């Protein structure tokens, strides 16, 4: 692994005066609704495709929490560091850097983070399977896919209903759009015709790339004053957990271990957020437990039973140095 040492610019995207400003994050990763829908529609044979999927299986056996816990995301977004790195993000909490790279994403989510195929998202014509079920329409959106799925039966369809179910899963969990009437990317529309490819495709790298783009787009467009409302499109469960995995005081106070979890599972399956009276944790609660702690993991290291989650990741490890206290890794 190549190691590069660079200086992290001390300037952040936001000043300390906005750290305690909360807001509303709308998430478009509707995994609970999706799992409930598929469990209610699909046959055992079709469900087994998801349950036995080496990546998507984790979405099905993690705790299906009713409400998302977004305040850990606000904590990090407001502390995003300005760097020249386009393939990872750094956040500075109490003077300590926290990295969000493809490795952290893999450890938390269990999605495959191997190299993306060249030109995987190139423009292409609609496959015969899509033409069969959606005709010649130029726009296929989430609502159209859901309606199609609900109208289909397994009998006489072969794997067609399963393929539509996979498309429904991808467009509601992996790559949900802000508006359900927004056109689905052609790449997602076409890939479902090849179920073996859907199984081996590096969905972790795909979702991480999109997540970093959303973070960068947010911080660059706010001009130092955070918008109190933010819609996070796509899969962001890794970012949602990052603060709680990196800061022991938050992990101990906000996460609860899942006793029956498989040791080979990713971290989002090994724990869940503790129950709370409100839908989510208030930002003030997060800060009360954060305090001034410097006990923070800058880089998540895989434990012995997690090595397989990062085995196929090729990256350049960039070490950050800076004059800020505690910035030496």
Residues linked to residue 77 through DSSP beta bridges, in sequence order: none
Cα 58–Cα 118–Cα 220 angle in degrees, nearest 5: 75
* pLDDT score for 10: 58
CB 233 within 8 A of CB 26: no
Segment 258-263 long-range contacts (CB within 8 Å, at least 24 positions apart): 258/63, 263/305
* pLDDT score for 323: 40
Residues linked to residue 319 through DSSP beta bridges, in sequence order: 5
Which helix (H) or strand (E) is 41 found in, with range?
helix 31-41
CB 13 within 8 A of CB 224: yes
* pLDDT score for 139: 84
Please enumerate in sequence order all residues whose Cβ is within 8 A of that of 267, keeping only pairs 6 or more positions apart, or say none.
107, 108, 241, 245, 306
* pLDDT score for 8: 52
* Distance in angstroms (rounded) separating the CA atoms of residues 302 and 292: 26
* pLDDT score for 326: 36
Query: Per-residue confidence of the chain (329 residues) as pLDDT tens digits?
Result: 444 445 554 589 999 999 988 778 888 898 999 999 999 999 999 999 999 999 999 999 888 877 777 889 999 999 999 988 889 999 999 999 999 999 999 999 999 999 999 888 877 777 888 888 888 777 899 999 999 999 998 877 789 999 999 999 999 999 999 898 899 998 999 999 999 999 999 999 999 999 999 999 999 998 888 888 888 899 999 999 999 999 999 999 999 999 888 888 999 999 999 987 767 788 888 999 999 999 999 999 999 999 999 987 866 555 554 443 333 33
Model confidence, pTM? 0.90
* Distance in angstroms (rounded) separating the CA atoms of residues 16 and 55: 38
* pLDDT score for 286: 92
* pLDDT score for 302: 94
Q: Which residues of 144-162 are buried (b: 16+ CB within 10 A; e: fewer)?
A: bbbebbeebeeeeeebbbb
Q: What share of the chain is helix, strand, coil (3-state, %, to 5)?
A: 45, 10, 45
Q: What is residue 179's DSSP assignment?
A: S
């Amino acid at each position: 692994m190549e190691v590069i040492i660079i200086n992290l610019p001390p300037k952040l995207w936001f000043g300390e005066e906005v750290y305690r400003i909360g807001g509303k994050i709308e998430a478009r990763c509707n995994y609970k609704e999706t799992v409930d829908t598929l469990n209610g529609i699909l046959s055992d044979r079709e469900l087994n495709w998801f349950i036995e999927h080496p990546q998507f299986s984790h979405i099905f056996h993690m705790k299906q929490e009713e409400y998302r816990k977004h305040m850990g995301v606000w904590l990090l977004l407001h502390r995003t560091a300005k760097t020249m790195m386009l393939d990872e993000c750094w956040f500075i909490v109490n003077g300590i850097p926290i990295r969000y790279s493809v490795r952290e994403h893999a450890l938390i989510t269990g999605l495959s983070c191997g190299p993306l195929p060249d030109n995987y998202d190139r423009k292409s014509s609609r496959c015969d399977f899509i033409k069969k079920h959606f005709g010649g329409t130029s726009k296929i959106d989430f609502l159209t896919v859901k309606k199609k799925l609900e109208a289909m039966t397994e009998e006489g369809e072969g794997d067609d209903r399963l393929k539509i179910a996979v498309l429904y899963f991808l467009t509601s969990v992996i790559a949900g759009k802000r508006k359900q009437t927004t056109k689905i990317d052609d790449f997602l529309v076409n890939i479902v015709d090849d179920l073996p490819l859907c199984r081996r495709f590096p969905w972790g790298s795909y979702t991480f790339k999109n997540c970093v783009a959303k973070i960068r787009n947010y911080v660059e467009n706010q001009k130092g004053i955070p918008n109190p409302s933010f819609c996070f499109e796509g899969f962001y469960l890794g970012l949602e957990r990052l603060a709680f995995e990196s800061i022991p005081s938050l992990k101990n106070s906000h996460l609860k271990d899942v006793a029956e979890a498989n040791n080979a599972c990713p971290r989002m399956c090994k724990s869940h957020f503790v129950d709370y009276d409100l839908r989510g944790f208030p930002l003030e609660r997060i800060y009360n437990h954060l305090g001034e702690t410097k006990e923070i993991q800058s880089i998540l290291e895989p434990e012995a039973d997690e090595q397989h989650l990062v085995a196929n990741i090729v990256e350049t490890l960039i070490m950050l140095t800076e004059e800020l206290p505690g910035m030496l890794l």
